[in-house]
Amino acid sequence: MSISDQDFDPVMDIVTARTGLTFPAVLRAHVATAVGQSVAQAGVLRLQDYAVGIASGAIPLDPLIERITIKETYFFREPEQYRLIGDEILAVARPAGGRPFRIWCAGCATGEEPYSLAVLAEEFGLADRCDILGTDLSVEALARARLGAYRRWSYRTPEAERVLRHCTPDGEGTHVLHPRFRQRVRFLRHNLWCDPIPVPEAGDGAFDLILCRNVLLYFGEAARQAIGHRLASALAEGGWLIPGASDPPLGPLPSCESIVTPAGLVYRRTSGGEPKSRLDPGASEPAAAHERFNPFEPDPSGPAAPWDDPAPVHSPIASDSAAALLEQMWPVPESAAGAEPPAFPHLRPARPAGATAAPHVPAAGGRPPETLADAERFLRQHPFDMQTHLAVTLLLTEQGRYAEAAESARRLLYLDPTLPIAHFTLGLVSKALGQPREAWRAFRGAVRLCASLPEDATLPGTEGARAGELTRAARAELRLLETTR
């Protein structure tokens, strides 16, 4: 059932009331598809009947929840935060009374985060002294988490090799985590918006560490604040609450101090009193942790772009660094001599006539889509496949469909705001569209994200492009934007 022209807001109002989740306009097409499929599965003919059914409980809401929830994650995502957890928290973990160190990963999706913590705990000698709980709203995601079997895309950061060494390949492109790690993590279904705080396995008590990363951005402000207060109340004295580096700040939390660290803004439960804040000595810029790059809204709080007016600046010039980087992603074989001119000539060399894919962007299943239509068809069945979203963005860019490429890049960044190559690509297409302010912000986002990676680290979502190369390319683009203002 297609409902693209129908108003499905009453259905989403019910979803928000039951889960607290909200979805921006950039995901409206995805939500419309999910609602249409759920209406058809329920066997009703009208959207109004479906809304009445899920409101009354006559029609289950779970199938729609499974279709619309974001399940994107990977091992050791945001490595600076794991360094903070290891060096500042686990290294000095001494729970009172010999009890286990209690960890809760709220909104853990398919389980890569709690398993990363299980590996980290073993590295710090806490293998059998940690109680790790992973919770999520999605039953399907939790079922996958319990299996502990992941494809290579989940291991896409250099730090993920620490997990991969504990896995066994199954011969079908999947790596299965060693049973000892699967036994150290429990998974429960939990609704952050309305369910009671879960209880650690070791009995009554509070948590020493709570991670709720890249989850809070899917809630409205009121729901986010309410959830933040509930999470803070579940902390033991001295316990830590770590949101994602791209999550909106939670503001003052009761009995907690907010700490600006090189890994972002974190919270720690104190013995009581008014909320406090402080700057960790390792954080060089207090404002840096509060900057949240949002590709969907203006950024009034961040450093100003070097333009006093929004007049379009169409620059046909790209830096040599950007061209070199993109040449790695769209390689040109020797047979390309004399091929048709590229749609985006100032960004990269021409590709052979008839070549429509970006071969250095691996898609689901290990091979790239051969055409844009193939990629879009795959996304209708797998709307959260990050590799294919990136391939679509690059293919649209290659065809000169810059407005659609920018929308695709924003959709990708909504699903995963930590992909440097997505920020960089959004900068390129924004520049081509004559939007220098947006391009400036996107290139800055790419530079900031690459700063947490080793220079020779392979960029997530690419094969061969390095963090240092993208940093140099993005900085060169920023300099060019300054000269063409």
With 0-12 CB in 10 A as exposed, 13-18 as middle and 19+ as buried, what is 408? Answer: buried
Domain-located, residue 306: no
Last residue of one domain, picked from the residues 26, 42, 68:
68
Domain-located, residue 248: yes
Same domain, 47 and 161: no
Same domain, 325 and 190: no
Same domain, 445 and 354: yes
Mean pLDDT, the chain cut into blocks of 10 residues (485 residues total):
67 93 80 90 92 95 92 90 95 82 96 98 93 96 96 88 94 92 96 90 80 90 91 94 88 90 90 56 41 41 44 43 49 37 33 35 46 78 74 83 88 80 90 89 88 78 79 88 73
3-state secondary structure at position 277: strand
Domain-located, residue 2: no
Domain around 415: 320-483
Last residue of one domain, picked from the residues 68, 91, 111:
68
pLDDT for residue 272: 61
Domain-located, residue 416: yes
How many domains in the chain? 3
Please work out, in degrees rounded to the nearest 5, the angle formed at the alpha carbon of residue 83 by the alpha carbons of 79 and 85.
115
Q: CATH no. for residue 362?
A: 1.25.40.10
pLDDT for residue 296: 40
Same domain, 333 and 283: no
Same domain, 278 and 338: no
Same domain, 228 and 277: yes
pLDDT for residue 348: 35
Q: DSSP letter string over 88-109?
A: IIGGG---GGGPPEEEEEET-T
Same domain, 330 and 276: no
Same domain, 463 and 380: yes
Same domain, 113 and 59: no
Task: Give the other-Cβ count within 10 Å of 345's Cβ.
Answer: 12
